[in-house]
Amino acid sequence: MLSGQGLLVILAGQIEESSGDIPYSWMKTFIIVAGLFIIFLFYHLFVLPHPKSDSPREQVQFKHFINEFLKTFISFFKKKEILIIIFFILLYRFAEAQLVKMASPFLLDDKEVGGLALTTSQVGIAYGTVGVIALGGVAASKHGLKFWIWWMLIAINLPDIVYVYLAASQTSNFILINICVAVEQFGYGFGFTAFMLYLIYISDGEYKTAHYAIATGLMALGMMLPGMISGWIQEQVGYLNFFIWVCISTIPAFIITKFIKIDPEFGKKK
């Protein structure tokens, strides 16, 4: 089964093969994506139901808005053990943030530079495999986040080792490549569930929506910073050593997880 990401890459690959023009293929693909977003916009505006609380409010003074914003923002950083929370958010996907930036270039690059020399369409098939976030949610509902967090942490990090194998072997067996990438995507989908549940857990309280937004902002930062240096690291050491480094980069997530505290009942289905 393919994700939307995979389908779009396959589409770009098909246009590229028929036209022979890579920039044109991606331009056409993004035009199609833009059209889909416009359709979704009207669907959300006119079809999806609105909650009763989603109604116009009385005019709010700018000063009051600023005060409430600061109050909400500061209250997040006053949470108990906030440093542990921040480090967990930044480090849980530290390895994955680097891997995800270089996985597609690795699959596309020529074998002379350490890649697997796949076509764009083949990358769409291989790297578009759907993770199993839904399965992670079902599992968490059985025993709670505290029980599953270590298993999900292992699931999101341990499968990174398949890229070490692919870089070392540079196999041309497309079925084997698909299996390896599917293993990593399976682990990512299952392991990501714990991360999202933890963000919900720490956001509970008076400003849960705003605090969840701040937490996801920190999550984006945790993806952006490692991703910024991943290309430079790969250029310095090559693909094989880079993926070995990614595996080493999973260690901080295991260390910080030891220090977080979670209610054993959180996540269990009532």
CB neighbour class for 159 (10 Å; exposed up to 12, middle 13-18, buried from 19): buried
Let me know the angle formed at the C-alpha of 159 by 153 and 199, rounded to the nearest 5 degrees. Answer: 30
| Residue spans of alpha helices (H) in the chain | 4-19, 22-46, 62-76, 82-91, 94-108, 120-127, 133-143, 145-157, 161-169, 174-203, 208-248, 251-257
Query: Along the 270 residues of the chain, how does pLDDT read in single tens digits?
Result: 445 566 777 777 778 777 777 787 888 888 988 988 899 888 888 887 766 655 665 666 667 668 877 888 888 898 889 999 999 999 999 999 999 999 989 998 999 999 998 887 788 777 765 555 556 777 777 888 898 899 999 999 998 999 999 999 999 999 999 889 888 888 888 888 889 999 999 988 788 888 999 999 999 999 999 999 999 999 999 999 999 999 999 999 999 999 999 988 887 776
Strand, coil or helix: what is 266?
coil
What is the rounded CA–CA span in Å between residue 190 and residue 154? 10
Burial 73-104 (b: 16+ CB within 10 A, else e): eeebeeeeeeebbbbbbbbbbbbbbbbbbbbb
Give pLDDT, residue 54.
Answer: 57
Cα 199 to Cα 92, 94, 192, 224, 227: the distances in Å are: 12, 16, 11, 18, 21
Contacts of 91 (CB under 8 A, 6+ apart): 222, 252, 253, 256
**Cβ-contact 257, 88 below 8 angstroms:** yes
Give pLDDT, residue 239.
Answer: 95
Give pLDDT, residue 133.
Answer: 54
Give pLDDT, residue 185.
Answer: 85
Give pLDDT, residue 55.
Answer: 60
Give pLDDT, residue 143.
Answer: 81
What is the rounded CA–CA span in Å between residue 153 and residue 99? 16
- For residue 101, give both structure tokens: 């930036």
**In the chain, what are the domains?**
1-45 (no CATH), 81-270 (1.20.1250.20)
- For residue 156, give both structure tokens: 């999101």
What is the rounded CA–CA span in Å between residue 125 and residue 1? 9
Give pLDDT, residue 25.
Answer: 82
Return the closest-CA partner of residue 85 out of 205, 227, 233: 205
What is the rounded CA–CA span in Å between residue 242 and residue 22? 27
